[in-house]
């Protein structure tokens, strides 16, 4: 069964799409090797050749990290041997090697919370890999979204750290804060936060989004500096994310839509919207 693969690798040797490629490319000061797969029927000799180049430890293992393709969140870390990586390449399901049971295991084989692998990266030293994929559900056996939810700094400050504090990047920390404001109850004489006011007033929220979007455009029209543009974009992003929270839409859903559009031209994407609208009508 062939699987469509939309990403392409661009470096000083041009584009490589299909089968398997791992050229050496430079991105500023960083170098990475990228494995690209166009179908589940990757030629065995190429896989073998690639696996021969991996720097396995004395037990024939490398660190294997699973990362969310849309949010960038680190989902979990395990170990993989030669067979685990080959299985991941062919099945597109994140597969690891259990050191305690001395056997392969695929994440989700008991919980059905598989990690569907879109891409695999190997680091510059070739001694660790990343499975870049989309999880079907919570990754951690505790039911948490990821296995990383305990802050070391919190542990150092107090004896018991809050164990549901996910390792969030700035965008998702903002989303989490907005979500908290959404559930907050306001006391009788308590003044609501700005975010809460926006959540309670659709007209105010929409007017602010239009206002901030216009100010962002003005930074281009008036040739304002980059710092001002970044500031106005931050305002647009914040207010738009409040609207998403109001509608119950996650930023991850938005990023997934963008990712799925990578393989389409703008014209094709607009046509698909019209076709879908016709079906809905």
Instruction: Give domain limits for the chain.
Output: 43-133, 168-266
pLDDT value at residue 153: 84
Q: Would you say 106 and 93 are in contact if contact means Cβ atoms under 8 Å apart?
A: yes
CATH superfamily of 168-266: MazG-like (1.10.287.1080)
Got the DSSP string for the chain?
A: --------EEETTEEE-SS-----EEETTEEEEEE--SSS---HHHHHHHHHTS---TTS-EEEEEEETTT--EEEEEEE-HHHHHHHHHH-B-EEEETTTTEEEETTTTT---EEEEEEEE-TTSSEEEEEEEESS--STTS-SSS----HHHHHHSSS--TT-----HHHHHHHHHHHHHHPPPPTTPPPPHHHHHHH-HHHHHHHHHHHHHHHHHHHHTT--HHHHHHHHHHHHHHHHHHHHHHT--HHHHHHHHHHHTTS-HHHHHHHHHHHHHHH-
Could you check whether 43-133 and 168-266 share the same CATH topology?
no
Hey, which CATH number is domain 43-133, 3.40.50.300, 3.40.50.10190, 3.10.20.810, 2.160.10.10?
3.10.20.810
Q: Picking from 38-47, 50-59, 155-164, 175-184, which range would have the lowest pLDDT averaged per residue?
A: 38-47
pLDDT band at 77 (very low <50, low <70, confident <90, very high): very high
Task: Identify the band that residue 151 occupies on the pLDDT scale cut at 50, 70 and 90.
Answer: confident
Mean pLDDT of the residues in the chain = 82
Query: pLDDT category, 267, cuts 50, 70, 90?
Result: low
Q: What is the pLDDT of residue 125?
A: 95
255-260 contact pairs (CB < 8 A, 24+): 255/70, 255/71, 256/70, 256/134, 259/69, 259/70
pTM greater than 0.85: no
pLDDT band for position 233 (50/70/90)? very high
Give pLDDT, residue 280: 63
pLDDT recorded at residue 32: 42
């Amino acid at each position: 069964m062939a699987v469509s693969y939309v990403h392409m690798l661009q470096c000083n040797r041009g584009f490589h799409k299909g089968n398997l490629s791992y050229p050496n490319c430079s991105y500023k000061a960083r170098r990475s090797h990228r494995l690209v797969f166009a179908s589940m029927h990757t030629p065995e000799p190429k896989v073998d050749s690639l696996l021969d180049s991996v720097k396995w430890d004395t037990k024939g293992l490398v660190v294997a990290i699973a990362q969310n393709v849309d949010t960038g969140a680190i989902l979990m870390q395990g170990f993989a041997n030669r067979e685990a990586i080959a299985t991941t390449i062919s099945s597109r399901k994140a597969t690891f090697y259990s050191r305690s049971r001395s056997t392969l295991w695929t994440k989700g084989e008991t919980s059905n919370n598989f990690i569907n692998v879109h891409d695999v990266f190997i680091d510059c030293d070739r001694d660790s890999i990343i499975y870049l994929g989309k999880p079907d559900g919570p990754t951690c056996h505790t039911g948490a979204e990821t296995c990383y939810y305990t802050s070391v700094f919190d542990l150092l400050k107090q004896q018991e750290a809050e164990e549901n504090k996910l390792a969030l990047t700035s965008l998702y920390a903002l989303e989490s804060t907005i979500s908290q404001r959404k559930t907050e109850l306001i006391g009788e004489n308590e003044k609501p936060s700005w975010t809460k006011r926006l959540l309670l007033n659709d007209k105010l929220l929409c007017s602010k989004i239009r206002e901030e979007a216009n100010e962002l455009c003005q930074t281009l029209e008036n040739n304002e500096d980059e710092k001002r543009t970044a500031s106005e974009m931050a305002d647009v992003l914040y207010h738009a994310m409040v609207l998403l929270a109001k509608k119950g839409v996650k930023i991850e859903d938005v990023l997934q839509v963008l990712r799925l559009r990578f393989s389409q031209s703008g014209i094709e994407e607009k046509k698909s919207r019209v076709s879908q609208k016709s079906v809905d009508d």
